[in-house]
C-alpha cells in the first residue's frame, strides 16, 4: 500500500483538524518521557530510527507537536501576564583591605627561639594570637611559626602535639600527647629547654616553674633532660634581642591608645632612642631614651602606652646592637 503524498499545506490542515482530539488523548508525562528518552539516550542508533507503522509515526509527531505547543503557550502566558525572570542582585561586599586593624586587646605571645643550639643563645619575638589559650598558642608557635623579625633564624626543635597548658598549684603544667625531636648534648638541650620556660613564663606573665608531661608521664626531653622535676628559669642563658618593633607592625591601623612594644640595644654612654613623628605635621609626638648598663652593651625593652591624635605616624628606634631588626615602622591612628 502506497502512502498518500501530501504537500505542506495539506499536512498543516490535517494536523489542525486532528490536533485537539489527539492532544487531549495524550498524557503530558508520556510526551515528556518520549522527548527525554531521545535527549538522554546517546546510543540512539539508525536501527531504532527504522520506519515504523504509519499510526505510530503520526502519534510521535503529534506528541512532539503537542509538547511544543504547550511550551509555546506557557511562554505566551508569561508574556501576557507580564512575568519576568527573577534577577538576583548580590549583596554588596565590603572592599578587601590588606591593612590589618591593630587591636591592643589581642594577646601578645613572647616566643623564644634558638637559631642553632651550638650558639647557646635564644632570641625572643612578640607575635599576636586570637587563641583564648595563649600558653598553648605560644608553645605551638615556638615549634611551627616562622620568625617574625627579618634576619631571625629558627632551629627545628621537633614536633609536639600539645594537649594543654595551664597554671595551677604554683606550676605551669604542660601536657603533651606526642613529642619527637633530635637528640642533643646536655648544654644545648638545656638552652633549648629555656626557650620552653621563657616562652611560657613571659607569655603568661608568671615566673612559675614548668612541669612537662608526655601522656601523663615524665620523659627525657631532647635525650638529656629529665622532666620528672619542674624546669626553672636559668638567668645565665644568654638572650639576644633584635632591635626593632614588635607591635604595632608596619602598615597597621592602630587605635588612639595602644602599647608600643619593642627592643633596642644600648651601650655605655650610648642610650637607645625611640621616636614617633606625626607625618602630617612633622611634629615629634613621642620620644624616649633607653639607657644601658654602664660597663657593656645590652638589650633594653620599651613598652610605653601612647595616646595619639588620628593621623599617620612613623616610629623609629636607634640602637647599637649587631642584630638588626625592624628599626622603622609607619602606622595610622584612628579614633
Please determine, for residue 267, whether its predicted confidence score (pLDDT) is greater than 50: yes
Closest C-alpha to 276, from 301, 242, 302, 297: 302
> Of 41-55, 106-120, 283-297, where does the model show the most confidence?
283-297
Closest C-alpha to 109, from 148, 59, 166: 148
pLDDT band at 12 (very low <50, low <70, confident <90, very high): low
| Among the ranges given (17-26, 198-207, 310-319), the one the predictor scored with the smallest mean pLDDT | 17-26
The arithmetic mean of pLDDT across residues 70-99, rounded, is 44
Write down the domain spans for the chain.
Answer: 8-80, 108-239, 244-333
Please determine, for residue 208, whether its predicted confidence score (pLDDT) is greater than 90: yes
- Pairing outcome for strands 209-214 and 257-259: unpaired
Percent of the chain clearing pLDDT 90 (strictly above): 32
pLDDT at 101: 58
pLDDT at 90: 47
Name the one residue in this structure whose C-alpha cell is 538576583.
88
Closest C-alpha to 258, from 327, 307, 301: 307
| Architecture of the structural domain at 244-333 | Sandwich (2.60)
**Cα dihedral: 204, 207, 209, 212 (round 10):** 10
pLDDT band at 80 (very low <50, low <70, confident <90, very high): very low
pLDDT at 146: 67
User: Residue 292 corresponds to which cell in the numbers above?
Assistant: 644601658
Higher pLDDT, 317 or 37: 317
For residues 58-96, one letter each, b for 16 or more C-beta atoms within 10 angstroms of the residue's C-beta and e for the rest, the string is: ebeebbebbbeeeeeeeeeeeeeeeeeeeeeeeeeeeee
- pTM for this one? 0.57
pLDDT at 75: 44
Please determine, for residue 44, whether its predicted confidence score (pLDDT) is greater than 50: no
For residue 222, how many other CB atoms are within 10 A of its CB?
21
* Cα(210)–Cα(229) distance, integer angstroms: 9
Closest C-alpha to 229, from 158, 171, 164, 160: 171
Q: Please count the residues of the chain.
A: 335
pLDDT at 173: 97
* Cα(159)–Cα(78) distance, integer angstroms: 66
Return the HEC string of the chain: CCCCCCCHHHHHHHHHHHHHHHHHCCCHHHHHHHHHHHHHCCCCCCCCCCCCCHHHHHHHHHHHHHHHHHHHHHHHHHHHCCCCCCCCCCCCCCCCCCCCECCCCCCEEEEEECCCHHHCEEEEEEEECCCCCHHHHHHHHHHHCCCCCCCCCCCCCCEEEEEEEEEECCEEEEEEEEEECCCCCHHHHHHHHHHHHHHHHHHHCCCCEEEEEECCECCEECCCEECCCCECCCCCCEECCCCEEEECCCCCEECCEEECEEEEEEECCECEEEEEEECCCCCEEEEEEECCCCCCCEEEEECCEEECCCEEEEEEEECCCCCCCCCEEEEEECC
pLDDT at 301: 84
Q: How far is CA 304 from CA 171, 274, 280, 327, in A?
A: 30, 10, 22, 16
Closest C-alpha to 317, from 305, 304, 302, 307: 302
> Of 19-23, 60-64, 260-264, where does the model show the most confidence?
260-264
Amino acid at each position: 500500500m502506497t502512502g498518500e503524498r501530501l504537500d505542506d499545506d495539506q499536512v498543516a490542515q490535517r494536523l489542525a483538524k486532528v490536533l485537539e482530539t489527539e492532544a487531549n488523548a495524550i498524557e503530558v508525562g508520556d510526551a515528556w518521557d518520549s522527548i527525554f528518552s531521545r535527549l538522554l539516550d546517546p546510543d540512539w542508533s539508525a536501527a531504532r530510527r527504522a520506519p515504523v507503522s504509519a499510526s505510530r509515526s503520526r502519534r510521535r509527531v503529534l506528541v512532539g507537536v503537542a509538547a511544543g505547543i504547550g511550551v509555546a503557550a506557557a511562554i505566551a502566558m508569561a508574556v501576557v501576564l507580564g512575568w519576568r525572570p527573577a534577577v538576583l542582585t548580590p549583596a554588596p561586599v565590603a572592599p578587601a583591605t590588606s591593612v590589618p586593624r591593630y587591636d591592643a586587646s589581642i594577646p601578645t605571645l613572647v616566643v623564644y627561639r634558638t637559631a642553632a643550639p651550638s650558639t647557646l643563645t635564644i632570641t625572643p619575638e612578640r607575635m599576636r594570637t586570637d587563641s583564648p589559650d595563649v600558653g598553648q598558642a605560644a608553645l605551638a608557635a615556638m615549634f611551627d611559626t616562622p620568625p617574625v623579625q627579618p634576619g631571625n633564624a629558627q632551629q627545628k626543635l621537633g614536633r609536639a602535639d600539645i594537649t594543654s597548658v595551664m597554671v595551677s598549684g604554683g606550676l605551669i603544667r604542660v601536657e603533651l600527647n606526642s613529642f619527637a625531636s633530635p637528640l642533643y648534648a646536655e648544654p644545648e638541650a638545656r638552652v633549648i629547654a629555656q626557650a620552653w620556660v621563657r616562652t611560657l613564663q613571659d607569655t603568661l606573665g608568671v615566673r612559675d616553674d614548668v612541669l612537662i608531661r608526655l601522656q601523663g608521664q615524665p620523659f627525657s626531653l631532647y635525650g638529656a633532660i629529665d622532666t620528672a622535676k619542674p624546669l626553672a628559669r636559668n638567668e645565665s642563658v644568654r638572650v639576644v634581642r633584635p632591635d626593632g618593633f614588635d607591635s604595632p607592625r608596619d602598615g597597621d591601623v592602630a587605635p588612639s591608645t595602644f602599647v608600643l612594644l619593642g627592643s633596642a640595644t644600648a651601650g655605655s654612654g650610648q642610650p637607645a632612642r625611640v621616636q614617633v613623628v606625626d607625618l602630617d605635621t612633622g611634629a615629634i609626638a613621642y620620644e624616649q631614651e633607653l639607657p644601658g648598663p654602664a660597663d657593656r652593651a645590652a638589650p633594653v625593652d620599651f613598652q610605653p602606652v601612647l595616646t595619639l591624635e588620628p593621623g599617620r605616624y612613623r616610629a623609629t628606634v636607634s640602637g647599637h646592637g649587631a642584630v638588626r631588626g625592624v628599626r622603622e615602622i609607619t602606622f595610622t591612628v584612628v579614633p
